[in-house]
Structure formats: C-alpha cells, structure tokens
Structure 1
Amino acid sequence: MGVLLYKWLVTAWLAWHPFYVSVTEIVHNKASNELEISCRIFADDLENALKKQSKGPLDIIHPANRAATDSLIAGYLRKHLFITADGKPVRLQYLGYKIEEEAAWCFLSAEKILPFRKAHVRNDILYENHPNQINMIHIILNGIRKSTKLDNPEAAADFSF
C-alpha cells in the first residue's frame, strides 16, 4: 500500500508541477563533414513561444500553413541556438520538424565542418517563457559523447575534445 501511495503522490506532483526540458544533440558526421543537429522541445511550449513571437494563432501539430510554421520555427531557433567550432561561428540550416508524441523534433545541419577540438554552444531555448527551463546538450564527435545541462539563466557551454 505504501508503494502505491508513493507512486500516486509522485504522479500527482508531476501533474501539478510541470517540468520544462529541451534536448539538443549535435553530431559530427565525419564522412560528410557535417553537423547534424536535433532539438527535442515540448510541442506545446514551442507553440506558445512562437505564438508570442508571431502574435497570432498557431497550431504546430496541424499547421494551416506548414511553410509559415517552418519559417517561425527557423527564426526562433536562429535567435536561441548558436554554435561555434574552434572559435568560428557555425551557420545552421533549418531542415524542418516533426511531431512525435508530445515533442517537436526540430532538425538543422551545418556543412563543411571539419572535426574540431573545441565547441561553444549558446542555447536559451524557451528561457523567456519558463524560469525553470533546463536545456540538455549532447555533442558527439569521433564517437566521443560530451553532455551538459543548462539551467535557466545559464545559457552557454564549452566542450573540448
């Protein structure tokens, strides 16, 4: 009986006290010298941030105009996600997004990126909406994975390989 009560209390607490987390994964593809980037963001949180930016109605799960929605997401990510490799800014190209369960998976890439020794990532996705936002960042280079967690307002991380 104690275990059931504990599980119920944890479930009730999570329902009452939502958490805000995004996950950004940056993978260096050595064969093509590209960065492959994915950002997993709760769809409702991303939609709310985009509504504030566009000041209009929006439904990212069933968009009335997919191209306009892609443009909003691309613009939002351009403002809130920056990467440098060995001190050089990386030009991110937005590829699109898909909805999977409660998450929006946003995809970006960067071409002509040679293997690097140092990376700097600035990620303040959803910080303006959620004081408790947490952004997880993973970078994979030559099979080596480095990860960090950024708690709002901390928005920058450095990685060495």
Structure 2
Amino acid sequence: MKIKVLLLVVILPCLMAAGMHKFYVSTTKVEYKEDEKSLQIITKLFIDDIEDVLQERYSPSISLATKKETKVAEDFLKKYILQKFKVVVDGKEIPLTYIGREYEIDVVKIYLEASKVKNFDAIEIENKILFEISPDQQNIVHVKRGTTKKSLILDNDNPKGLLNFD
C-alpha cells in the first residue's frame, strides 16, 4: 500500500507536468499558384501566443477571438505579421499583402499573398513570428511549387532558410 501511495506521489506530478508542457510552434503553408502568378500563404498560430506578443508589444488591452476584439487589434496583428515574415524570391524581396484572419478553436489562421510572382528557382523565407515570447519557438514552413514540396524548421538561431527548386 505504501508503495502505491509513493508511486502516486512521485509519478502523478510528473505526468501532470508533462501534460502541461507548452509547445511553441507555428506552421506556415506557402503555395505558388502559377496560373495566378501568386504566392498564397497561410500561417497558423496559437491565439494565446500571438495575443501575448501583441499585448507586450503594442497594448496590454489587446484581445483576440473574443467580443472584446477591436479593429485596432487586427491592425496590430497585421503590422506585426508583416514585420516578422519576409519572402525573397530569386534574390528579390517581394511585398506581401495581408488578406485577413480567421479563428478556429484556439488557433488563428492568417492569410497573406504576394502577387506578380514569376516562376522561381529559389525562395528564402524569414519567419521571426513569436520569437520574442519563447526561445523554444519553432516556425515550420512548407513550400509547394507545382508538385514539389519542401519544408523548413526555423528557430531563434536560424530564423530564415533557403529552398532551391531548380
């Protein structure tokens, strides 16, 4: 009996701590649409993480995905994303357009687009989103051009990566 109690006292807190471990990860899908000559980008972030960054950076009153969300909150979200996410195609940085965002349970999906993009041999992605809240943040980027898919894992030490499609 004492062994069972001891095991519960030792193992239960470990299991609870493991369950509470927070993962700091985002995923981004970049797809080249040749017929439209555009890059369509969808970034998925945990709402609480991006909200924390926006509150720290701009205003403690920012609230996302609630009735308290204001137009200013989305403006700050747009500003932050466009500062932290960059795309370079064949050595030339291309301008990104913020299309909008939508919420799914605890995730925000952010839509960006780059137009007038010619077929490319190389694409460099810089994604520094959320690095200021966690040194463990990882930003996974999947790039698709035609039938070819390639991926990057970007972190604080390596915030940008180059993919060759030639």
User: How does the TM-score come out when normalised to structure 2?
Assistant: 0.86
CA distance in structure 1 between the partners assigned to 2:31 and 2:162 by the alignment? 15
Report the counterpart of residue 29 of structure 2 in structure 1. Answer: 25
SS at match of 1:137: strand
How many Å separate the matches in 2 of 1:46 and 1:35? 23
1:23-56 Cα offsets, whole Å, 9 max, x none, are 1111001111111001000100000001111123
2:116 alignment counterpart? 112
Matches within 5 A, 1:12-161: 12-62=16-66, 64=68, 66-161=70-165
CA distance in 2, matches of 1:74, 1:11: 38
Counterpart code for 1:78: L
1:15/1:90 CA distance change after superposition, 3 Å: same
5+ unaligned residues in a row in structure 2: which ranges?
1-7
**TM-score relative to the length of structure 1:** 0.89
Where do 5+ consecutive residues of structure 1 fail to align? Answer: none
- What RMSD in Å do the two structures reach over aligned CA positions? 1.9
For this pair of structures, how many residues does the alignment match? 155
Q: Which segment is superposed worse, 149-158 or 81-90?
A: 149-158
SS at match of 2:78: helix
Among the aligned pairs, what percent are the same residue? Answer: 26
Q: Distance in 1 between matches of 2:123 and 2:32?
A: 11
Q: Which has the larger radius of gyration?
A: 2
Amino acid at match of 2:96: L
**Counterpart code for 1:56:** P
Deviations 1:106-155 (A, max 9, x none): 00001100110001111111101101101101110012110011232320
Q: State the SS of the aligned residue for 1:46.
A: helix
